[in-house]
Structure 1
Amino acid sequence: MNLLHTDRLHLRPCQLENLDSLHELWCDADIRRFLFDDRQISSEEAQSFIEASIASFRNHGYGIWLFFDNHNDQIAGFVGLLQFTEAAPSLIFGVRSQFWGRGYATEATLAVLDHAFTDLGIKYIVADVDEPNDRSIRVLDKIGMSQTKRAIVNERPLLYYEIYAANLTNP
């Protein structure tokens, strides 16, 4: 069922029964600032993201995972691969602010990338990040992603990254 584990985390695909918890997380000011350009999303939008993730797991073997500390049932964050273009899946992630600084984003993204490259045979993965989002940029650097370009999108500076299967590193 696409369950993933690390030394400190367990990851499982998000489901419709996670709608309220995930919507609350995605509406958190620290998360939505960079994920939704500081826009409060509706419950219906959150549900459509979950439904798209469920379909993606069915069709591609990946989607959005929720991750939890092995000693806690509270959602610590989310990490996922979404297919926005034909070229490559795009990495997304976010961590509840009370769990910042513990390395959970790095650990969770590495688990997902390892699954994608090793189990699913994906050749490369892309990501984009708002230029002011220093925490996420550090995660992308730690996991070995390379910046490929910078662009202004909707009046916001975005950095684009990629990683190939052969370049995955474990910090």
Structure 2
Amino acid sequence: METERLRLRQFRIDDAELLVGLDSDPEVMRYLTGQPTPREELEDVVLPGILKVYAEHPGLGTFAAEDRDGFVGWFGLQPTDEPTAVDVGYRLLRRAWGKGYATEGTKALIEHAFTELGMERVVADTMAVNHRSRDVMRRAGLRFVRVYHEHFEDPLPGTEFGEVEYAIDRGTWEATQHG
């Protein structure tokens, strides 16, 4: 899949180093786990899990994102408990922040979900205090749905403000498309 500035492709088993580089930046992981993901976990759990989704859910998964200079992060379109709904997400290297890539890639996956996969709803969530990610969700066309609270054994700073869910349904998305 390609956008104006990005190419999205499936990860391969030899892409572990890309994930290690991404998940080793504490700022990238700030609202996720708050710490780098261990290499062993990426190689033995995360990457095999990514490859498994491709096999079990055609058209869905976590896709490596590249610009003209190389790897910038990933965009994901994941299955949910609802067969006609998918969850969209992204994680970008710090060098890719502030360039509009997150919005561009998210919009492309939302379009893919509705036009190619026949989905009825796309959802996304983040910590309530993650304002940059919430801004991306809004710019991509997702609408605020709710605040909810989850229990974490080792909560990150800001967890007390909850998580937020954003979503868009097919009808709303179609009404916003011009031409």
> Separation in 2 of the partners of 1:17 and 1:84?
27
Instruction: Measure how far apart 1:80 and its partner are.
Output: 0.2
CA RMSD in angstroms, aligned pairs only: 2.0
Counterpart of 2:31 in 1: which secondary structure?
A: helix
Give me the identity figure in percent.
Answer: 29
User: 2:107 matched to 1:102?
Assistant: no
For the Cα contact (< 8 Å) 2:126–2:164, is it kept in 1? yes
Counterpart among 75, 81, 101 of residue 85 in structure 1: 81
**What is the 5 A alignment of 1:1-171?**
4-35=1-32, 37-47=33-43, 48-60=45-57, 61-69=59-67, 71-73=68-70, 75-86=71-82, 88-153=85-150, 154=152, 156=159, 157-168=162-173, 169=176
**TM-score under structure 1 normalisation?**
0.87
Deviating beyond 6 angstroms after TM superposition, the runs of 4 or more aligned structure 1 residues are none
Residue segments in structure 1 that go unaligned for 5+ positions in a row: none
The number of residues matched between the two structures is 165
Whichever residue aligns with residue 67 of structure 1, its letter is A
Q: Is the 8 A contact 1:53 1:82 kept in 2?
A: no
* Structure 2 residues not aligned, in runs of 5+: none
- Whether the 8 Å CA contact 1:66–1:77 is kept in 2: the answer is yes
Q: By how many angstroms is 1:82 displaced? A: 2.0
CA distance in 2 between partners of 1:90 and 1:97 (Å): 23
Q: TM-score, normalised by structure 2?
A: 0.83
CA drift at 1:98? 1.4
Distance in 1 between residues matched to 2:10 and 2:50, nearest whole Å: 8
